């Protein structure tokens, strides 16, 4: 169990995922889960409310169209196992 402490709203996490991507992403799947539970999860790309996902539908579509062979699950791409 990783520790998620409120810090200026979003909180921080001690997991390796946050250490790797938290700096630019501002959250990890644990923080995302907390925010989703509170209904405060926003798209990491455009900042609009994104429901239960870390990206809104339009950004998911845009990313899929912009990248050939883009992952069909952007969350998996963002929060998947490192080093794949
Ligand atoms: Zn975490
Ligand atoms: Zn978006």
- Domain limits for position 10: 4-79
Total number of domains in the chain: 1
The reply to whether 73 falls in a domain is: yes
Whole-number Å distance, alpha carbon 60 to ligand 2 midpoint, is 7
pLDDT at 36 over 70: yes
Residue 15: pLDDT band with limits 50, 70, 90: very high
Whole-number Å distance, alpha carbon 17 to ligand 1 midpoint, is 6
- Position 16 scores a pLDDT of 92
Q: Say whether 68 sits in a helix, a strand or coil.
A: coil
Query: Among 52, 49, 22, 50, which residue's Cα sits nearest to residue 36?
Result: 52
1 bridge partner residues:
none
Whole-number Å distance, alpha carbon 61 to ligand 2 midpoint, is 9
Alpha-carbon span 39 to 37, nearest angstrom: 5
Average pLDDT for residues 63-84, to the nearest whole number?
A: 63
Average pLDDT for residues 17-33, to the nearest whole number?
A: 83
Whole-number Å distance, alpha carbon 65 to ligand 1 midpoint, is 29
The reply to whether 84 falls in a domain is: no
**Average confidence score pLDDT of the chain:** 76
CA 48 to chain CA centroid, nearest Å: 13
pLDDT at 51 over 80: no
The reply to whether 33 falls in a domain is: yes
Return the ligand number nearest the Cα of 57.
2
């Amino acid at each position: 169990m990783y520790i998620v402490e409120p810090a200026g709203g979003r909180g921080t996490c001690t997991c390796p995922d946050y250490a790797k991507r938290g700096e630019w992403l501002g959250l990890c799947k644990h923080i995302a889960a907390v925010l989703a539970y509170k209904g405060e999860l926003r798209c990491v790309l455009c900042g609009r409310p994104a429901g239960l996902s870390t990206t809104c539908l339009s950004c998911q579509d845009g990313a899929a169209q912009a990248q050939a062979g883009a992952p069909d699950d952007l969350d998996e791409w963002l929060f998947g196992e490192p080093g794949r």
